[in-house]
Every structure is written in structure tokens, then in C-alpha cells.
A and B are shown apart, each in its own frame.
Chain A
């Protein structure tokens, strides 16, 4: 795993956890003010999910060459 990938994994996890803190710890503090409570809760959820999406950019992706695979398949069948 490259250094760039690790950065995405770590930052994605941290952003998600920040979202969790906002939604589960900060939002309930504003129990009397439902507008603020719901706003912070939704912001927390959005951050939590954004962190998960950010994390996926750290995946090492291998692109296949479909042309080569088809050729290989033809040779095998022959």
C-alpha cells in the first residue's frame, strides 16, 4: 500500500469519526433547540459518510486489460 493510499485511509477514518462525534456527542447537547440539534446531527452524518467515500479513494485498484483476457480465453478454448 502506497503512502498516498494510507493518507486516504487515515484521513477518511478521521473525517468519519469527526462526523460520529458531531452526530452522537455534540448534537445531543442542543436538546432544547431542535433546529440546531437536527442540523448538527445531519452535518455529522454527512461528514461520517463523506469520510467513508474519502476512504475508498485509498483503494489500490488494478485495471484489467479486457482485450488480453479475451485473447487468453480464445487461446485456452483452442
Chain B
């Protein structure tokens, strides 16, 4: 009987000792971070829909590193070493290797067929389309669009800052879209413009989007006095629009936006097909899209983002810059939204609650809920949610437009 190396029986631990110290430390840190995300999601401090699968995925993938067989090492990209996981191999591009990996890594089929081509982003958008009532936008188009444009401040300001930090135009545009606070949009843009960075950019984006939930209330309290936060808005000033008109608007807007931005057309089509399904009263389609499609996609998106958080990916020196730029983009988008809200307050003769401005950041429906929560805390009788949802819907559209502008213009000018 040969000698047994006990560590080989517990490869998750053995690979910690066999790898470089910085990789081992990063793995341990990511496992702890995974626990933290699960805890914060469980406690509903961060968005549990993304954080639970993401945190668990992150902890598992960094714990489950093993020594891989030499024939499998040959399939991996150069420099991968003899350690890896059987979760997913994001950087495999050789078709023959990919076919083999698809039969080994259990999340590879979902990654290859839905994540790396942007399909999962489009599925999430279909679901968002179904749960979105564009009537709130159509009822007050000027106020909604005005605020949504201001809430793109972060997406616009981040671009020159990112270029100054040494990123290329494509990389800068991809990270700038984080300011739109729209996860699927970030995923789509980074796939189009900076495919080599799309894993870290998407991880940064989703990590921060959850922080919007916890961070924006402080921004609101800091920038808007309590007296203004409690302003009661006149709900009777918000008209209703018929389903037929909303449907017609969705069809025309989708066609015009697809004609203007063919590269972002999958996102526009996905969003407006959801709106069209909702307004045409196709109950079974609506139930499919807002239930299994939206929640199924969100679940697998979270899980994949978690398992993509491997130590080697996070140790890329560009990740530190991306972390800074992500915070920068979301902070200035929030500030821009609040500035837009304050301007609307003055334009409307002090009848508009400026907190609604934060909802221009298109993290639908999170920012609308944040706005209502903050308003309720200041005045329990004030309702701003319908106005806030109108701004969030406009935010989705303006983010998609800015995405289209970046994807179309950046390859032309660089």
C-alpha cells in the first residue's frame, strides 16, 4: 500500500498551501466576504435576491479549488496552473476546449449560453418590462426625463476620470455605465466594449448596486433638509393613461430607439416586449416573464457572479481602479438625481418633493422604494412612489440611450 498524502484527501485545504501566498490570502478573504454578503442579504441590509446566491457562490468557489488533471490543464488558457474548480471556466475561448469544459464544469452551460452573450441581461430586462408601468412616465414626461437626465451625471463624469486613470476609451465607457445603476446594462456594455474586463466590471457593478439600497438614504439625508423631504405631493395631479396608448408608445419608442442604437437593440427590444405584454393583457406571458424568467435569471445571475469571484480574477490590478470608479459613478449619479429633484422643486413652485430625484438613478424599483422610505420617515402621510417610479422608468430608458451612445461612438472615436 502506497503512502497517502492526507492533504490530497482535502484538496480545498491542500491547494491553499500549494498556491502563492497572495492567492491563498485572497481566497480566504473572498470566503469571508462571501459569508458577509450572505449574512447582509439574509438580514435584508443588502438586496437578498442577488446577495444570497452571489455570496454563497463566492465562498464555495474559493473553497472548492482542487488539483486538476493534466489533460484538463491542457484545455485551460495559458497561465491557469494546475489548480482550478469544476464550477466555470470563463476565459476558455478555444472551441474544442470549450466543448470539453461544457461537459465538466456544471455552470459552464449557463455561463456560455446565457451570460457571456448577454442573454441573461435581456431576460432580466423582459421581466423588468413586465413589472414596469410606463404610465407613470407618460403622465409626467417632462419631470421624469428631466430628473433621469440629471441622474446620469455619474455615467458622464466617470468617463474622463477613467481615461485619466489610464483605462482605454472602451474600458472607461464600460465602467462609466455603472453610474446608470442598471446591472444588465453594465453586463451588456462591458461585453460589447471590454470583454476582457467584463467579469470584474460586472462583479463591481452588482456589488455596488446592492450598496445603493443601503447607501443612498444617507446621501438623501445629507443633501436634502428634513422639511423638504416631508413635502406631500398632490396625487390628483398624476393622470392615468390608457393601456392602448401605453402599448402604442412602447412599439414606437422601441422601433425608434432600435433604429438609433442597433447595438443596444436587444436590450430595448427585451424591455419594450415586456411592456407590450403587460399592456396587451397577455396574462400567461406576463406571468411567465415576471415570475420564472425574471426570478430564474436573477438567481443564476447572482450565482454566476459569485462563482466568477475567484481570487485570480479579483487580484487583477485594474480591479482596484474599477472599485474606485464604480463608487465614483454611483455617488455622482445619486448627487445628480438629487440636484435634478431640487431643481424640479423650484421649477414646480416648491410643490415637488426633491427626494424623488434619487429615483432617476434607474435601479428599478430599488431607488423608488428608497425614495418612498425616506419620505415616509420624514412625513408618514406623504406618498411619492408613483412619481418616483416614473423617474425610474425614465432612468432605465436614459441609461439604455447612454449605453447606446457609448457603444456606438467609442469605437468611432478611439
Which residues of A come within 8 Å of B, CB atoms?
9, 13, 16-17, 19-20, 23-24, 34, 37-38, 41-42, 44-45, 48-49, 51-53, 55-57, 59-67
On whether the beta carbons of A61 and B413 are closer than 8 Å, the reply is no
Are A51 and B405 neighbours in the complex by a CB distance under 8 Å? no
A9 to B138, CA, bound (A): 13
Which B residues lie within 8 Å of A56 (CB)? 137-138, 141, 249
Report yes or no: A59 in contact with B138, Cβ–Cβ below 8 A: yes
CA of A21 to CA of B236 in the docked complex: distance in angstroms? 40
User: B residues touching A (Cβ–Cβ < 8 Å)?
Assistant: 137-139, 141-142, 145, 234-242, 245, 248-249, 252-253, 256-257, 259-260, 401, 405, 408-409, 412-413
The binding surface of chain A is classed by DSSP as helix
Quick one: given A41-B409, A61-B139, are A53 and B145 in contact (CB under 8 Å)? yes
Task: Count how many pairs of residues, one from A and one from B, have CB atoms less than 8 Å apart in the complex.
Answer: 76
Q: Which of B138, B256, B413 contacts A17 (CB 8 A)?
A: B256
| 18 A–B contacts, CB within 8 A, in A order | A16-B252, A19-B260, A24-B259, A41-B408, A49-B401, A51-B256, A52-B252, A53-B141, A53-B145, A55-B249, A56-B138, A59-B138, A59-B241, A59-B245, A60-B245, A61-B241, A66-B235, A66-B236
User: Please, which residues of chain B bring their CB within 8 A of the CB of A24?
Assistant: 259-260
Interface of B is mostly: helix
Residues of A within 8 A of B239 (CB): 61-64
Give the complex CA separation of A53 and B339 in angstroms: 22
Residues on B with beta carbons closer than 8 Å to the beta carbon of A38: 409, 412-413
Chain A residues in 8 Å Cβ range of B405: 42, 45
B392: min CB distance to chain A, Å: 17
